């Protein structure tokens, strides 16, 4: 195995710890250092590092100017709490339940023009002449008694959400002023922003990589009146809205967005909502504006001879790394936090940049680095889950965050991270940016309303946070992130005219009425026709949870005929159920314990499909032949080694590729095999903290047995171990 | 306690067992005998009985005539299995999956006029010129490829469903011919039917009670191609349909029903579907026709000096005991099977007849009456569940069914039924048709799409059969059937103009999109306004499962503000949940073990309500003040003593009647107290098979402790034990 002891690793700096940092740089082979919000870069270290990152906040770097120009701050629409009219007159206090240190009602833009009052009981908009804005809030006259009313109103953002979060969490108190995000949609702000940046670059010659955190608009995050998180949507465009952008939108598109288009009944167009055309157009508009404006910032950066790196988070809205306009920004790199295999791939797969970097866990913070804490356990857990995804496509660099002085108190941790850094560099070299072998002839495509815009980003609420309602769906993506298959993301638009070439299996996973299952998309004949035709002609289809779900024309699963199962929604209890018992099948051959398919969907029954797993009389997994094609139903797929194997087998079966598991395949589900044809190398990896024995099939279907130490990653070259 | 040893009991007869029957009549104090389908009434016994029932089938008594007049048989619409067009031409085999000995395609009525082909993918009806009926089924030309098509077509009913069921179940073989149901919608059938009945009455002078089984149209029941039940709906009008009735309907209403109005996407308008106006009009039309025609039959019966008793089951469709037209039939009595408290009340509460009779379980059949069988256990279980309902309103008579000779082999059973008969007679006398005391000032109203038409009949598929999807909802009704409250059934029409007087608490219980939750009814401003206003003014509201559920205007529970809870349907995951812990409350005071609220609804969170029961972070029970009124949310309520108590306390709290539980109330949840002001008597009943101790509050809030033997029912008179 080739030794590879330096490079591709970024270290966080800490003030007055130069010796520690130098020691760590050597131990871990770090070639880059970076500061965080609040820490400065020590000169002695900067000289030793190839890359020196410094954080820059384009829209909140210049606090004084922001304080002096309150009309230049960013805005957003809020929806008031729904309130019933007990009388003919109803007063709605706008900021009830909202943290008033974060958001402030904008009365500078005429409420009658910019706000919207809706009678939620009738669904009708209340004409502006029927309400007034007063110090008491909005007063609605001539209400329909006992109807529910809401007001969508503009607010100024008077505290940057991330700084607010850190400020409150770390109890920074009055000494640290509140960051104010200004709005580059105003030309004077843009001008000021660029000028300030130019000056800053001149004043800060040390960093050769500017790490933007991020560009302009924060993902949707606002707090409640108890200073706690009220709403968070890592994908939400709500905080990009301003009268300036809306005016520009109306000018370009020839139609005006209503406040309701943006507050969306209070759902704020979160990623689970089936997007409206108007919201999609708004998103695209913001993306173009952000890309164009970010390019101006990046150009300045390049003019000054620095690299431009974007942090995928915080104010990243509109950059959309998988969107049409991202490459035009001209970034050199993207860095993001790695909490799972999915978030690893979300960063590593980004097209249009020269390199990517993953920030690994745990942060060197006292929450983990205290007496009795288990930083080694945490770093291993994080590494194991990310590593299998890296074997499909690694980031170009890794790094950690927090206070190195804290880490140094845990020598085992320092050693372990050193091993991880070496393992990463070896992996990176052995893969050499080549494409790993896929067990399937074509790609596995995830089908939902978002398509490739949300590559590796489905069912996410707030980055890697998992909810019981999403665990069974994210599990599918997490399993795929490190599986020996190529993955694509398709939107319904992508398939209306027919499923594109090169797809082996399409997966539709999600809950009824969400963007991930598809909701009303399933009422479009073009969608169901394209899929029926494609599967019948030989394609593979896997439905998870409530796939193709829409209550329409006698069925819940609109592809009931393809799946051979449907869900009982208490409208067909009158049909006597003869749900067959589970039969042995290729897909379930590996199951040695009872399958745990989560609790996202129950009450499914086979109508033609063969049941593979049945619980309490209901179908949990089923397989179905449809013409020359095949489909599989899974009730859910929380992430686990066993479920990853179950999904892999389901994919192989659906793609008529059962024999795939005789090549470049490791039998023990706790292990995986990854082969790189271009380099002739392959890896066998133990994804667990226990030792494992497995049999590995090579390309010629010959096999050998091997033992793997806990977490071991073994590299081989064809016919010889490297 | 008054001894009351004879009367009010009906015995089934068996041929060649006269001695046994005489013995049983004495032991049980039976005053009536009845035959079953297939048994004859022995003369010696008939002389000893006050009442002699004989079964009569108005539409299948005259088999020979039916065989000779196949065009006089009943019909129905079927929907073909949905089928995708793989080509421009699609052949649909109509009876695929249907038992062809029960149903036969009607080609005598022009398919082009009477059938309907629908493209289920587009939702459009295919014009008749685009399809043809051939020996191969319906051939659709110029199909949209990969669209799904169905055909709704008329079939003749060539086997009465009940006789078919018995025939197949008991393997009667070819010796017993298939009963053919003829259709009284044809005048000549009506004429023949009445003439035959007149003659039959003359030929059969013995019975003085004619037990109609039942009148004309069977509830919806058809079998699949493996001779097993395919579809059963105890409330379905599907098998009443015929061209004659449809023509008459069109003439009267001025519009024509489409086949689709009747096959209803394959749901066949089952009781869980939110009924369409067209289907409601059809139901009413059938009810009027059935009532008018049944009255002719009953009149003949009366002319011949016999009583007319209707069996509530089999061909009872259109009689609707709680409908507007039932009383006009002029029946003397209704008899029905008692499988639960609900079915007991469903029979006992029927207005417009002189008396009611309950058939208790178990039937004296070998399934229970075999060596090692437990007929005593079964009879006790049935009696205990029905008895608490009888204490609210008893049927006027009880009876059993099956073969007495089998029962006689179990002396303990004979003794126990004798005790039950005595207990029933004493209960009946002590209640003396008087109204029992209610713990609440007003009624408890069940609100759904059906209202009082389906009194005690909510969430039922096939009589007392329970499904896991319905158990949590039927439990509400079952608990109420024996609870010391008065119960009413309201439809949404009943409340649109305001909630009627005399209601203390309204309950809405059911799953999203069903007639029991209400579905699109919740989009009607009049409905939500009426309820908001009423609860705010002091009313009580209890939601169970998915009450007021409709995905509309930002909420799932449309009365989220009244309930103070809403359900997460994966569209508001972005709102951070701070679901409070459960707090002690009057409603949950009695819970001594963890509440078992079923699995019909999960993912509910409090938004203003106080959580009473929380599991895995979700609200299972909550209480909420809304103006002067109160509301309670319960995730579900499977029937149990503990849940019955939970519901009672919820009702008392919602009605501001917490103090009610200090009068005429038995503290131990395994027991109940029932007081009859008109007779000054009250009962304390042990609903379990174990001994119980309880404290009983009397009307003046004084109390006493008492011990109850297993299953004991103790009667008291005010200030003295009777």
Q: What is the DSSP letter of A680?
A: T
More confident residue, A277 or B46: A277
How many other CB atoms are there within 10 angstroms of residue B86's CB atom?
14
Task: For the domain made up of B665-717, give the CATH fold.
Answer: Immunoglobulin-like (2.60.40)
Q: Is A599 a catalytic residue?
A: no
How many other CB atoms are there within 10 angstroms of residue B625's CB atom?
13
Question: Which structure tokens are listed for A595?
Answer: 């399958």
**What's residue B3's pLDDT?**
58
Tell me which residue in A120, A467, A576 faces B553 most closely, judged by beta carbons: A120
Q: List, in order, residues 6 or more apart from A82 with CB less than 8 Å away.
A: A120, A148, A149, A150, A266, B554, B555, B560, B561
Do B443-660 and B665-717 show the same overall fold? no
**What's residue A4's pLDDT?**
67
* DSSP secondary structure string for all residues of B391-406: TTS--SEEE--B-HHH
Q: Which string of b and e fits B16-48 if b means at least 16 CB within 10 Å?
A: ebeebbeebbeebbbbbbbbbeeeebbeebbeb
In chain A, residues with a C-beta closer than 8 Å to the C-beta of B599 are 602
For A2-60+179-227+275-431, which CATH superfamily applies? Glycosidases (3.20.20.80)
CA distance B573 to chain A (A): 7
Please, what sign has the CA dihedral across residues A181, A185, A188, A192? positive
In chain B, residues with a C-beta closer than 8 Å to the C-beta of A97 are none
Reduced 3-state DSSP string for B656-692: CCHHHHHCCEECCCCEEEEEECCCCEEEEEECCCCCE
* Cα–Cα dist A72/A180, whole Å: 10
Q: List, in order, residues 6 or more apart from B672 with CB less than 8 Å away.
A: B388, B391, B482, B483, B484, B666, B684, B685, B687
For residue range B315-324, what is the model confidence (pLDDT) as tens digits? Answer: 999 999 999 9
Coil vs helix vs strand at A162: helix
Question: A146 and B532 in contact by Cβ < 8 A?
Answer: yes
Q: List, in order, residues 6 or more apart from B171 with CB less than 8 Å away.
A: none
- Start-to-end Cα distance in chain B: 5
**What's residue A3's pLDDT?**
58
Residue with tokens 């289809």: A541
For residue range B650-670, what is the model confidence (pLDDT) as tens digits? Answer: 999 999 999 999 999 999 999
Question: Which structure tokens are listed for A102?
Answer: 């974060």
Q: Which residue of B has its CA nearest to A220?
A: B574
Mean pLDDT (whole number) for B462-470: 83
* Cα–Cα dist B10/A42, whole Å: 100
**What's residue A19's pLDDT?**
87
Q: CA distances (Å), B577 to each of A231, A273, B214, B603, in order? A: 9, 18, 55, 11
* Cα–Cα dist A495/B86, whole Å: 19
At residue B665, φ and ψ (nearest 5 deg) are -145, 135
Q: Kindly indicate the confidence band of residue B4, based on its pLDDT and cuts at 50, 70 and 90.
A: low
Q: Tell whether the model's pLDDT for residue B424 goes beyond 90.
A: yes
Torsion of CA A41, A47, A50, A56, to 10 degrees: 20
Q: Which string of b and e fits B282-298 if b means at least 16 CB within 10 Å?
A: bbbbbbbbbbebbbbbb
**What's residue A348's pLDDT?**
98
Q: What is the DSSP letter of B524?
A: -
Catalytic residues of B: 314
3-state DSSP: chain A helix, strand, coil percent, rounded to 5? 30, 25, 45
Q: Name the helix (H) or strand (E) containing B389.
A: helix B375-390
Which of B569, B571, B599 best tests the A interface by mutation, with the highest count of A CBs <10 A?
A: B571
Tell me which residue in B513, B617, B627 faces A571 most closely, judged by beta carbons: B513
Question: A573 and B525 in contact by Cβ < 8 A?
Answer: no
In chain B, residues with a C-beta closer than 8 Å to the C-beta of A511 are 569-570
The stretches of B125-242 forming alpha helices (DSSP H) are 161-169, 187-203
Burial class of residue B581 in the structure, from the number of CB atoms within 10 Å of its CB (0-12 exposed, 13-18 middle, 19+ buried): exposed
Which of B570, B602, B614 best tests the A interface by mutation, with the highest count of A CBs <10 A?
A: B570
Question: A120 and B528 in contact by Cβ < 8 A?
Answer: no
Question: Under a CB-based contact definition with an 8 Å cutoff, are residues B143 and B124 in contact?
Answer: no
CA distance A7 to chain B (A): 39
For residue range B18-43, what is the model confidence (pLDDT) as tens digits? Answer: 888 899 999 999 999 998 766 777 77
* Cα–Cα dist A540/A444, whole Å: 9
Burial class of residue A632 in the structure, from the number of CB atoms within 10 Å of its CB (0-12 exposed, 13-18 middle, 19+ buried): buried
Q: Is the preceding peptide bond at A465 cis, omega within 30 degrees of 0?
A: no
* Cα–Cα dist A422/A191, whole Å: 45
Predicted ipTM of the assembly: 0.95
CA distance B576 to chain A (A): 5
* DSSP secondary structure string for all residues of B70-118: GGGB-EEEEEPPPEE-SSS-EEE-TTTTS-TTTEEE--SS-HHHH-EEE
In chain B, residues with a C-beta closer than 8 Å to the C-beta of A86 are 536, 627
Residue with tokens 């018992």: A581
Tell me which residue in A123, A148, A554 faces B120 most closely, judged by beta carbons: A554
Helices (H) and strands (E) in chain A, counts: 18, 36
> In sequence order, what are the beta bridge partners of B137?
B134
Question: Which structure tokens are listed for A137?
Answer: 């809030």
Coil vs helix vs strand at A525: helix
* Cα–Cα dist A335/A313, whole Å: 9
In chain A, residues with a C-beta closer than 8 Å to the C-beta of B528 are 121, 146
Q: Which residue of A has its CA nearest to B226?
A: A578
* Cα–Cα dist B278/A271, whole Å: 39
Q: What is the DSSP letter of B614?
A: E
**What's residue B35's pLDDT?**
84
For residue range B471-527, what is the model confidence (pLDDT) as tens digits? Answer: 999 999 999 999 999 999 999 999 999 999 999 999 999 999 999 999 999 999 999
Question: A555 and B82 in contact by Cβ < 8 A?
Answer: yes
The structural domains of chain A, with segments of one domain joined by +, span: 2-60+179-227+275-431, 443-660, 665-717
* Cα–Cα dist B616/B608, whole Å: 19
Q: Which of A160, A233, A261, A314 is catalytic?
A: A314
Question: A470 and B573 in contact by Cβ < 8 A?
Answer: yes
For residue range B110-135, what is the model confidence (pLDDT) as tens digits? Answer: 999 999 999 999 999 999 999 999 98
**What's residue A601's pLDDT?**
72
* Cα–Cα dist B676/B682, whole Å: 6
Q: Which string of b and e fits B227-253 if b means at least 16 CB within 10 Å?
A: eebbbbbbbbbbbbbbbbbbeebeeee
For residue range B333-365, what is the model confidence (pLDDT) as tens digits? Answer: 999 999 999 999 999 999 999 999 999 999 999
For residue range B135-186, what is the model confidence (pLDDT) as tens digits? Answer: 889 999 999 999 999 999 999 999 999 999 999 988 999 999 999 999 999 9
* Cα–Cα dist B388/B684, whole Å: 10
Asked if the A443-660 domain carries CATH number 2.70.70.10, the reply is no
Q: Mean pLDDT for each consecutive 10-residue tract of chain A (722 residues)?
A: 76 87 92 80 82 94 94 97 96 96 97 98 97 94 97 98 92 93 96 97 94 95 97 97 98 97 98 98 98 98 97 96 97 96 97 96 92 95 97 97 91 96 96 96 98 96 84 96 98 97 98 98 98 98 98 98 97 96 95 85 93 95 98 97 97 97 96 96 97 96 96 89 47
Coil vs helix vs strand at A515: coil
* Cα–Cα dist B217/B237, whole Å: 8
How many A×B Cβ pairs under 8 Å?
A: 169
* Cα–Cα dist B618/B490, whole Å: 30
Question: Under a CB-based contact definition with an 8 Å cutoff, are residues B42 and B21 in contact?
Answer: yes
Q: pTM score, two decimals?
A: 0.96
**What's residue A37's pLDDT?**
63
Q: Is the preceding peptide bond at A116 cis, omega within 30 degrees of 0?
A: no
**What's residue A722's pLDDT?**
46
């Amino acid at each position: 195995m080739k030794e590879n002891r330096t490079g591709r690793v970024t270290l966080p700096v800490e003030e007055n710890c130069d010796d520690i940092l130098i020691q760590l740089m050597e131990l871990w082979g770090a070639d880059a250092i970076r500061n965080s919000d609040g820490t400065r870069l020590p000169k002695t270290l900067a000289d030793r590092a190839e890359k020196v990152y410094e954080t820059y906040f384009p829209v909140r770097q210049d606090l004084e100017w922001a304080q002096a120009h309150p009309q230049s701050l960013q805005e957003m629409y809020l929806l008031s709490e729904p309130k019933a009219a007990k009388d003919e007159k109803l007063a709605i206090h706008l900021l009830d339940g909202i943290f008033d240190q974060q958001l402030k009602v904008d009365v500078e833009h005429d409420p009658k023009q910019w706000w919207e009052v809706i009678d939620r009981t009738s669904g009708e908009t209340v004409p502006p002449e029927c309400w007034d804005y007063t110090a008491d809030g909005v007063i609605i006259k001539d209400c329909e008694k006992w109807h529910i009313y809401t007001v969508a109103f503009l607010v100024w953002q008077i505290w940057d959400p991330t700084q607010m979060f850190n400020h409150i969490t770390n109890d920074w108190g009055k000494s640290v002023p509140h960051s104010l995000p200004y709005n580059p949609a105003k030309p004077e702000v843009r001008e000021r922003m660029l000028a300030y940046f130019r000056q800053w670059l001149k004043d800060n010659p040390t960093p050769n990589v500017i790490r933007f955190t991020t560009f302009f608009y924060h993902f949707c995050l606002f707090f409640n009146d108890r200073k706690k998180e009220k709403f968070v949507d890592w994908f939400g465009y709500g905080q990009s809205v301003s009268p300036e952008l809306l005016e520009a939108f109306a000018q370009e598109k020839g139609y005006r967005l209503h406040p309701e288009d943006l507050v969306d009944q209070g759902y704020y167009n979160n990623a689970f909502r089936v997007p409206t055309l108007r919201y999609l157009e708004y998103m695209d508009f913001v993306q173009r504006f952000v890309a164009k404006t970010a390019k101006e910032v990046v150009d300045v950066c390049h003019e000054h001879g620095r690299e431009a790196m974007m942090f995928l988070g915080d104010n990243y809205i509109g950059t959309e790394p998988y969107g049409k306009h991202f490459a035009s920004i001209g970034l050199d790199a993207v860095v993001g936090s790695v909490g799972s295999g999915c978030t690893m791939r979300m960063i590593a797969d980004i097209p249009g940049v020269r390199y990517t970097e993953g920030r690994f866990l745990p942060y060197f913070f006292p929450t983990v680095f205290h007496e009795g804490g288990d930083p080694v356990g945490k770093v291993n857990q994080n590494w194991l889950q990310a590593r299998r995804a890296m074997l499909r496509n690694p980031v170009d660099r890794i790094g950690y965050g927090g206070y190195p002085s804290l880490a140094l108190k845990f020598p085992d941790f320092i050693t372990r991270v050193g091993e991880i850094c070496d393992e990463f560099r070896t992996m990176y070299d052995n893969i050499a940016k080549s494409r790993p072998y896929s067990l399937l002839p074509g790609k596995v495509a995830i089908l939902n309303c978002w398509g490739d815009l949300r590559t590796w980003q489905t069912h996410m609420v707030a980055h890697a946070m998992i909810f019981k309602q999403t665990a069974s769906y994210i599990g599918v993506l997490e399993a795929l992130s490190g599986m020996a298959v190529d993955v694509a993301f398709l939107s319904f638009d992508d398939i209306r005219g027919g499923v594109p070439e090169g797809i082996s299996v399409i997966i539709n996973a999600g809950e009824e009425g969400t963007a991930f299952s598809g909701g009303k998309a399933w009422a479009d004949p073009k969608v169901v026709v394209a899929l029926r035709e494609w599967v019948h002609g030989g394609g593979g289809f896997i439905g998870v949870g409530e796939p193709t779900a829409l209550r329409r024309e006698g069925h819940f699963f609109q592809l009931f005929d393809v799946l051979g199962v449907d869900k009982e929604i208490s409208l067909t209890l009158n049909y006597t159920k003869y749900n067959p018992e589970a039969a042995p099948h290729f897909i379930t051959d590996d199951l040695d314990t009872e399958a745990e398919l989560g609790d996202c969907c129950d009450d499914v029954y086979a109508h033609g499909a063969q049941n593979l797993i049945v619980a309490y009389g209901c179908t949990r997994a089923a397989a179905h032949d449809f013409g020359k094609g095949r489909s599989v139903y899974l009730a859910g797929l929380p992430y686990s080694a066993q479920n990853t194997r179950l999904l892999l087998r389901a994919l192989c079966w659906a793609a008529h590729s059962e024999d795939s598991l005789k090549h470049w395949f490791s039998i023990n589900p706790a292990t995986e095999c990854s082969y790189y044809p271009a380099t002739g190398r392959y890896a066998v990896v133990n994804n667990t903290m226990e030792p494992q024995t497995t049999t590995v099939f090579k390309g010629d279907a010959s096999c050998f047995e091997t033992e793997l130490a806990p977490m071991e990653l073994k590299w081989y070259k064809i016919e010889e171990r490297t």
